[in-house]
């Protein structure tokens, strides 16, 4: 990432805390939720320059914002919550400079969609084909794509499709947190052919 980075749906800013690359000049944190915006405004980030801005990427009024405002847009665990994802992606392209990049991180494998997805109001889960199609419809070319967390497919399927859980269990979440470093080491040996999550990078045409 480089230049001006616009983060869509920043929430509490957990992702933005990782934006420390030397080529990043400025970070714009955005959200549509008033409480999240208030929390972002009260949080100190390890960034040289950042701003907090109220923004609903699904609102057609987004076109009233200055276009070409960002070199990179990050959209982490947001797109799956949006009913018309292509429209939202078109708004992102409007906000990007020509040749700018969008980095999308979404839950993957529609076949494991279950009660936990409904709990957190996911409209869908993606695969490489469906996310690629959405980005291309919005006017992006695809530069990179890869899956993450192949082991999470089974646990998510078991929790949401077999047990049909309607809440997240803290003990299970803590256990997953403990094994994630080991999983990252395994996946660092090569990108898995499938995974619980999908990352895709698009370039504005």
pLDDT greater at residue 183 or residue 190: 190
* Helix, strand or coil, per DSSP, at residue 173: helix
pTM: 0.89
65 contacts: CB under 8 Å, gap ≥ 6: 55, 95
Asked if 33 and 54 touch (Cβ cutoff 8 Å), the reply is no
- SS3 label, residue 139: coil
Rounded-to-integer distance, Cα 105 and Cα 79, Å: 8
pLDDT tens figures, 59-97: 999 998 888 999 999 999 999 999 999 999 999 999 999
CA atoms within 13 A on the CB side of 142: 16
Quote the pLDDT of residue 205.
87
**How many Å apart are CA 132 and CA 61, to the nearest integer?**
25
Predicted confidence at residue 65, as pLDDT, reads 80
pLDDT-based confidence at residue 187 (cuts at 50, 70, 90)? low
Cα separation, 153 vs 116, in Å, equals 13
Contact yes or no for 104/43 (Cβ under 8 A): no
* Mean pLDDT, residues 42-54: 85
Per-residue pLDDT tens over the stretch 143-170: 999 999 888 898 899 888 998 988 876 6
Six token digits for residue 100: 């700018």
Kind and range of the H or E element at 94? helix 85-95
């Amino acid at each position: 990432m480089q230049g001006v980075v616009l983060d869509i749906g920043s929430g509490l800013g957990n992702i933005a805390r990782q934006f420390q690359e030397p080529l990043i000049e400025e970070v714009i944190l955005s959200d549509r939720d008033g409480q999240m915006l208030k929390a972002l405004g009260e949080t100190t980030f390890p960034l040289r320059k950042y701003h907090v801005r109220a923004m609903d990427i699904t609102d057609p009024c987004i076109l009233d914002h200055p276009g070409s405002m960002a070199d990179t847009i990050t959209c982490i665990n947001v797109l799956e919550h949006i009913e018309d994802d292509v429209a939202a992606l078109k708004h992102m392209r409007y906000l990007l400079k020509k040749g700018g990049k969008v980095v999308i991180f979404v839950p993957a494998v529609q076949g494991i969609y279950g009660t936990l997805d409904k709990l957190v109001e996911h409209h869908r889960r993606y695969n490489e084909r469906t996310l690629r199609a959405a980005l291309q419809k919005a006017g992006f070319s695809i530069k990179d794509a890869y899956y993450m967390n192949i082991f999470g497919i089974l646990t998510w399927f078991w929790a949401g499709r077999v047990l049909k859980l309607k809440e997240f269990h803290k003990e299970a979440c803590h256990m997953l947190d403990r094994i994630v470093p080991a999983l990252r080491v395994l996946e660092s040996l090569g990108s898995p052919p499938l995974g619980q999550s999908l990352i895709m990078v698009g370039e504005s045409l």
